[in-house]
Chains A and B, each alone.
Chain A
Amino acid sequence: MHTDFIGFSLIKMYSRSVISTLVIVLIALFSSYQSVAQDAAAGGGDAAKGKELFSTLCQQCHAVTDEKVIGPGLKGITKRRDTAWLLKWVKNPQAVISSGDAYATALYAKFQPLVMQSFPDLSDDDIKNILAHIDASAAPAPAAGPATGGAVAATATPASESPSGLFTAVLVALLVVMLLVLGVLLVLVTILSKAVGPTTGEGGQATPFLQRLKTSLGAAASNSTLRSIVLWLFVFVVTKQTFDGLYSVGVSQGYAPKQPIAFSHKLHAGQYQVNCNYCHTSVYKGKIATIPSANICMNCHGEIKRESPEIQKIYKAIETDTPIEWVRVHNLPDLAYFNHAQHTNVGQVQCQTCHGEIEKMEVVEQRSSLTMGWCIDCHRKTEVATKDNAYYDKLVALHKKGSKEPLRVANIGGLECSKCHY
């Protein structure tokens, strides 16, 4: 027993050490390979230092990809030009052009009248570091980030992640399973009735299963209790449906119309975290939140994704001076007054409180019912943001005398008819 135990632990130890050495060797190999790959072209520059320099000095005009920003894209620059030429160029581009260098003159002809700024203060090592950074960025990253391109982002959107989607999926799966079980049971019953039938059936004649099912169903139909149950069920369902139908008059919850341009809030507000206020400019200042005019789209799409057919629609609207006909999703009846500025500034209500998880919506949908009951409910529950607001100090003091509850919107007139209806 004892020796066995030792033997076992020895084997265990041995295998563990083998695995760990293997792992270490692999890691060492991989990292040396990576550093070799990074240092190869730039003669041993430090990519990390280069990244810092690149972001301060170069990023404004150059991309590390092959895209043209203001100057040309720098991907593979160390393969196009040798380091000595690049050192000369970065320190004083104008001098290289004046010297009649063929490549430089061609470059100047392509980008004139723009000439690259000269960087005489950069040391040779600095420039080599920057070049190392460019090469390192060009090499395919071992683990690509969540979003490496607009196209990836646009396609990588799973159809449905919402709990309701999951719920339906589970429901459908359950139904399928139940149907399967039912089928198996039916098969079993027919086989069993065939096997047992002749011995128990009267007159030695086996009645087919379907025949017997029919007769028993007929018997059920003539059963008065069953009849009344079905009748009452019918009356109940019809009544419920009628009331539900009546209550949904004027309520557009779930309304998600197709828009003229397939703008995705999920992409803009969710993935890229562009603030709501960036496009809905007057949400903190006015009654309505405003729908962005095309010039705000152009702030980014003057440069990004210009070829997309959806973006082309914006260009067309601008060229023909035609307004884009967005379909309004959230409609309040004219008889009710609502003001965005009031709710977002003083009330400090988040957009999502009324509009739902807008940053996850591919197509905007009306999530809240927007009924009067819904408004009133919130006014009853919500505490007034009285902190750091001197306007409320006396009101709060007065309220505390008569009540132990915190000051809610209902206490300051949030339930008055004339606040919204006039």
Chain B
Amino acid sequence: MKFTRFNRSLLVMAAAMLTITACKRGHDNPGKTYAPNMYEPVGYEPYKQEEGFKTPYTEKGTRGTALWLPVKGTVSRRNYNTKFSDSSARDLMIYNIPADSIEIAERTLVNPIPLNEKTLAEGKEYYSRFCQHCHGETGKGDGLVAAQYKGVPNYSSMSGMKEGHIFHVITNGRNRMWPHGSQITPEDRWKIVHYVQKLQNGG
């Protein structure tokens, strides 16, 4: 009698061991947290999406986000940089040229960033981050994405292009290229312009 009871408890223990060690958290489960009120932010985190947030999206989406669109025509304070130019009016102008008026940009915009080794190196860095996968390392339009995207031009056919033109194209897009103004600050865009001009005029 005692013997069988012990045997049974041995079996139970083995089963328990197997179950305990076999348990693994699923990929969709972040696991438990201790004291979640210290873990969860009290303030609004940028990407917080929550039921009942009163935002412009609440009516349309299922959940509101803490992230709101800025008022139309907003100029980022950080981007309103008058230090690198002699004219604040010109700095502001880049925000006011309509997307379809590339001729105005070509005529009026002047690169406020001085061309030197440092800015050119920075331009190259930004080019490699934002342009290279389509336009290619040397601007031949042979980036890895270009093979899929099609219609990426070769810079060698574009020597002598105006800096305002290039800036406007980065900001608002042109032909098949879509606008990249939301991704790159104006200052960085001007640095890219330096590097693109260097590539266009034969490296």
Where the two chains meet, the residues of A that have a C-beta atom closer than 8 Å to any C-beta of B are: 55-57, 59-63, 65, 67, 69-70, 147, 149-150, 218, 221-222, 227, 230-231, 233-234, 237-238, 241, 248-252, 254-258, 271-275, 277-278, 281, 285, 288, 290-291, 293, 295-296, 298-300, 302-304, 320-323, 325-326, 328, 331, 333-335, 363, 365
Contacts and interface: CB of A to CB of B under 8 A. Distances in A.
A230 B10 contact: yes
Contacts of B27: 254-258, 363, 365
B128 A258 contact: no
Given A295-B178, A325-B62, A334-B40, 6 more contacts: A60-B151, A67-B150, A230-B10, A248-B25, A255-B29, A323-B57
A258 to B, nearest CB: 6
Nearest to B59: A321
Given A296-B183, A299-B178, A334-B39, A59 B141 contact: yes
B117 to A, nearest CB: 13
Interface in B175-189: 175-176, 178-180, 182-185
Given A222-B3, A234-B13, A328 B47 contact: yes
By CB atoms of chain A within 10 A, which of B6, B32, B150 has the most? B150
A275 B13 contact: no
B153 interface: yes
A273 B128 CA distance: 10
A298 B31 contact: no
B17 A234 contact: yes
Contacts, number: 167
A60 B153 contact: yes
Interface in B150-165: 150-154, 156-157
A258 B21 CA distance: 25
A56 B62 CA distance: 49
A218 B49 CA distance: 61
9 contacts: A56-B154, A56-B156, A59-B151, A149-B148, A238-B20, A252-B30, A258-B27, A258-B28, A322-B62
B172 interface: no
Nearest to B136: A55
Nearest to B126: A277
Interface string B117-150: 0000000000011101100000011101101111
Contacts of B32: 249-250
Nearest to A222: B3
B182 A293 contact: yes
B150 A255 contact: no
A57 B151 CA distance: 11
Nearest to B42: A334
Interface residue tally on B, bucketed by range:
35 or more
B87 interface: no
A274 B46 contact: no
B38 interface: yes
B145 A57 contact: no
B180 A275 contact: no
B17 A248 contact: no
B20 A237 contact: yes
Contacts of A218: 3
Given A70-B176, A331-B30, A275 B130 contact: yes
Shortest Cβ-Cβ A-B pairs, 8 listed: A69-B151, A60-B153, A322-B61, A334-B41, A275-B129, A252-B30, A277-B129, A256-B27
Contacts of B31: 248-252, 255
A323 B61 contact: yes
B133 A322 contact: no
Contacts of A293: 182
Contact of B144 (A255, A271, A321, A335): A271
B122 to A, nearest CB: 11
A147 B184 CA distance: 29
Contacts of B145: 272, 274, 300, 304
A285 B183 CA distance: 11
Main secondary structure of the interface of A (DSSP, over half): loop
A55 B140 CA distance: 7
B67 interface: yes
Interface string B1-29: 00100110010010011001100010111
B74 interface: no
Contacts of A237: 17, 20-21
Interface string B55-76: 0010011110101000000000
Contact of B142 (A55, A249, A298): A55
By CB atoms of chain A within 10 A, which of B7, B57, B142, B153 has the most? B153
B33 interface: yes
A250 B33 contact: yes
Contacts of B63: 325
A251 B30 CA distance: 8
B57 to A, nearest CB: 6
Nearest to A148: B147
A57 B42 CA distance: 57
A254 B185 CA distance: 35
A304 B65 CA distance: 29
Contacts of A271: 144
A142 B57 CA distance: 53
Nearest to B39: A333
A321 B33 contact: no
Contacts of B39: 250, 331, 333-335
Contacts of B28: 256-258
Contacts of A70: 151, 175-176
A239 to B, nearest CB: 11
Nearest to B178: A299
A207 B87 CA distance: 106
B4 to A, nearest CB: 10
Contacts of A335: 38-39
